[in-house]
């Protein structure tokens, strides 16, 4: 797995340093190609040092020639980040007057374009037409997002976060899944029950896997609604993100949303107990007893909405994992359940078992979060 990374002349080019660092951290080699304008924002030295590969920028710098053919055959995906309006126009029109656009025209693998430009340039009908043309030719377009821009302005045109670009690269290098137009509701993170205005009962769930599934499903064309307790990097392809805190908040939100979705993936770690919170901060010098109150079972409360929907639940236990998972699978009327242990919490490597109503379906060992997300999404009919 390797990336051919095109870098254009945008102020957002400084983010490519972080993008390259993240790709290398994920064991994905990077072959950088810079336009002449990109050299006004980053240097060949910095890009070459971070990537460990010679950065290219000219069609004529290699005496042996044909770099555009060699590089297209040695890499698995072409990514242009940031992609300026100028380069986007050239790619859409088939103009190839520099190394990057020549590579783009010759490249036969997947292509990912991450635009970055001022709002007026992005919203110009000509740019919109070029973007539509690139989409129709099979290019993946990620972004831009709304936020702070150069010169103190704010609006749509900001390049997406490098961590999201890495998620997209990992997704588009996997086998595609038939998720287009599927409506998927995903819960993620760990709920928190307040004790007083500054303390709470919670758990160690990070939401990594749930967020990865949300990103991946959106990249593959699904209409995704994410209900989460954790911050998530902005992804313009996710239809809606609802932020909640308590188990009660999550239950209410899911009950409102489930009728309009085909699939529910309940990956959130929901608190088992809540308390009657104190309206004021409790004094540590006084003795206090917490009266734990069992919270309603969210999945059970959603069973009346199931009909022909697909429900995927999660089970976490350190002993009798199979027995506990199968009991939950049947008692909650789930189609599938993902069984894991506390060792998986926050880990970048996952070991899980997936059970269907017919028994063990998949045993996943030493899988990345991205690979685990892909395996779970394959369960959706």
CA angle 255, 302, 295 (to 5 degrees): 85
Short-list 203, 200, 192, 185, CA closest to 316? 203
Q: Tell me if 18 sits within 8 A of 39, measured CB to CB.
A: no
The encoded tokens of residue 74 equal 């040695």
Beta bridge partners of 225: 185, 240
Catalytic residue, chosen from 96, 114, 151, 171, is 151
The answer to whether residue 151 is catalytic is: yes
> Rounded to an integer, what distance in angstroms lies between the CA atom of residue 13 and that of residue 8?
7
Query: In this structure, are strands 293-294 and 273-274 parallel, antiparallel, or unpaired?
Result: antiparallel
Catalytic sites, residue numbers: 151
């Amino acid at each position: 797995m390797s990336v051919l990374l095109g870098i254009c002349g945008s102020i957002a080019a400084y983010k490519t340093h972080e993008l390259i660092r993240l790709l290398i951290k994920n064991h994905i080699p990077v072959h950088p190609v810079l336009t002449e304008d990109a050299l006004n924002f980053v240097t060949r030295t910095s890009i070459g040092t971070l990537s460990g590969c010679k950065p290219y920028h000219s069609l004529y710098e290699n005496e042996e020639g044909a770099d555009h053919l060699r590089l297209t055959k040695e890499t698995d995906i072409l990514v242009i980040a940031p992609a300026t309006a100028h380069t986007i126009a050239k790619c859409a029109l088939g103009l190839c007057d520099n190394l990057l656009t020549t590579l783009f025209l010759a490249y036969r693998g997947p292509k990912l374009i991450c635009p970055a430009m001022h709002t007026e340039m992005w919203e110009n009908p000509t740019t919109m037409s070029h973007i539509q043309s690139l989409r129709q030719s099979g290019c993946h377009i990620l972004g831009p997002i709304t936020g702070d821009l150069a010169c103190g302005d704010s609006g749509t045109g900001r390049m997406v976060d490098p961590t999201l670009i890495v998620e997209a690269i990992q997704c588009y290098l996997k086998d595609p899944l038939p998720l287009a137009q599927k409506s998927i509701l995903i819960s993620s993170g760990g709920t928190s029950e307040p004790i007083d205005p500054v303390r709470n009962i919670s758990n160690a769930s990070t939401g990594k896997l749930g967020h990865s599934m949300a990103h991946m499903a959106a990249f593959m064309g699904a209409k995704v609604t994410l209900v989460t307790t954790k911050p998530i990097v902005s992804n313009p392809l996710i239809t809606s993100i609802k932020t909640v805190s308590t188990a009660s908040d999550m239950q209410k939100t899911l009950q409102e949303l489930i009728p309009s979705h085909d699939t529910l993936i309940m990956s959130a770690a929901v608190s088992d107990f809540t308390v009657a919170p104190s309206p004021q901060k409790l004094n540590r010098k006084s003795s206090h007893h917490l009266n734990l109150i069992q919270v309603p079972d969210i999945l059970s409360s959603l069973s009346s909405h199931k009909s022909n929907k697909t429900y995927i639940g999660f089970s976490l236990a350190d002993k009798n994992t199979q027995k506990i998972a199968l009991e939950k699978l049947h008692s909650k009327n789930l189609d599938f359940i993902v069984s894991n242990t506390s060792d998986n919490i926050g880990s970048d490597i996952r070991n899980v078992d997936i059970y269907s109503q017919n028994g063990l379906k998949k045993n996943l060992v030493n899988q990345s979060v991205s690979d685990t997300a892909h395996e779970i999404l394959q369960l959706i009919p």
